[in-house]
Amino acid sequence: MQMQDAVDLWVPKPGYLNTAAYGLPPRTSWEALVSAQEDWLVGEGGWETWAASTEPCRDSFARLIGVPASDVFSASTVSAAVGLLAASAPDNSRVLIPDMEFTSVSFPWVVHGHRGIEVVTVPLEKLIDSIDSSIDIVAFSLVQSATGVVTDLAEVAAAAAAASALVIVDASQAVGWLPFNALLADAVISTTYKWLMSPRGATFGYLSPRLQERCLPLHAGWTSGRDVSASFYGLPMDLTPDARRFDQSAAWFSHVATAPTLALLEEIGIQPIHDHDVALANTFRAGLGLEPSDSAIVSLRAPGVDHRLAAAGIRASARNGSARLAFHLYTTPADVDLALNALAGLHLPI
Ligand SMILES: Cc1ncc(COP(=O)(O)O)c(C=O)c1O
């Protein structure tokens, strides 16, 4: 499907530049969600129908990042998914993390301090040079949440391979617009409520076969059984051998709405979305006299930037005088102009 045809399925009000906080659904997904909730209201349909949405989500997510679906697990949140990995890390592991990393990537390791897990933080630009044989695990966001900076996964993976370290990637700000080779990592975890434009409640993750061997299926429950319909009651526990054994029981309605969005993204393809998002972000930067950054997220720090955007009706993320603007497939050149007009004459750069 051509992107322009697909984009008509989205109906944002002008000035929505906040996909880094949460993405907007295509009408088809929203309708699927409303329809399921109408069934829920009156007791029509069955949970089996809603639960069946998990597998198309898993399959699409796997194809979108180019990994086997049998290596993909489903979780509720990124922190829960990273927590699963942290719980399986051996005592006294050393984990290298960028210092301003989103805390769903860092806190799940820090809580294991009592058993000697040590979190070492360095500025993002020193991440690759800091990977040495004392490091067991490197965990980072492929696209930084606060700044939009993209880290070169191939470089991290090469340094980690030389140091025999595992690479754990949070791709929550990347999957949906940035093409990358997920197979270079041991784990690639992404929420779906941002660039995958789905309701909050669904997270998917790739686990390399070697990491699966080392991980405890911490969230094992009835949906992790080899035969789910035979796994409701009693023992023994017979878990599925693929990555589904790491699943958390699914948030039904999230998956109902996530499945059509992911299918649509597959039809459009990530490369055209990347080109569209980055072109708009770079146009916005150029309008402010900034160099291109080739990221779909632009972060600005200047007095009053957040107030000016808000006064112009632009929805962006504002934090302590800084603003984070995100450009996705439903963003238009008119949105960019709106933001540039709101910031005309602003003293930059940073
Ligand atoms: C990089 C990154 N990871 C994860 C999340 C969400 O984490 P969680 O699913 O634990 O709420 C966010 C939300 O802003 C994020 O920016």
Which atom of ligand 1 is nearest the CA belonging to 144?
1
One DSSP character per residue, 118-182 reads EEEEE-GGGTGGG--TT-SEEEEESB-TTT-PBP-HHHHHHHHHHTT-EEEEE-TTTTTT----G
Mutate which of 18, 173, 248, 324 for ligand 1 pocket (most atoms within 8 A of beta carbon)? 173
Which atom of ligand 1 is nearest the CA belonging to 21?
14
For ligand 1, the distance from its centroid to the CA atom of residue 287, given in whole angstroms, is 30
* CA-proximal residue: ligand 1, atom 6 (nearest): 78
User: What confidence score (pLDDT) does residue 349 get?
Assistant: 53
User: What confidence score (pLDDT) does residue 28 get?
Assistant: 97
User: What confidence score (pLDDT) does residue 333 get?
Assistant: 98
One DSSP character per residue, 195-243 reads TT---TT-EEEEE-HHHHHH---TT-SGGGBSSGGG-SSSS---B-SSG
User: What confidence score (pLDDT) does residue 320 get?
Assistant: 65
Which residues of the chain are under the pLDDT cut of 50?
350
Mutate which of 78, 170, 193, 324 for ligand 1 pocket (most atoms within 8 A of beta carbon)? 78
User: What confidence score (pLDDT) does residue 345 get?
Assistant: 87
Instruction: Enumerate domains of the chain plus CATH numbers.
Output: 3-26+269-342 (3.90.1150.10), 46-266 (3.40.640.10)
Give residues (CB < 6 A) around ligand 1: 77-79, 102, 104, 141, 145, 170, 172-173, 191, 203
User: What confidence score (pLDDT) does residue 57 get?
Assistant: 98
> How does pLDDT run across 90-134, given as a tens digit for each residue?
999 999 999 999 999 999 999 999 999 999 999 999 999 999 999
> How does pLDDT run across 230-264, given as a tens digit for each residue?
999 999 999 999 999 999 999 999 999 999 999 99
Order the strands of the 137-141 sheet from edge to edge. Answer: 72-75, 203-207, 187-191, 166-170, 137-141, 94-98, 118-122
The three-class DSSP label of residue 64 is: helix
User: What confidence score (pLDDT) does residue 135 get?
Assistant: 98
Which atom of ligand 1 is nearest the CA belonging to 143?
1
User: What confidence score (pLDDT) does residue 318 get?
Assistant: 85
Q: Give, in order, the Cα–Cα distances in Å from 118 to each of 75, 79, 138, 165, 197.
A: 25, 18, 12, 14, 35
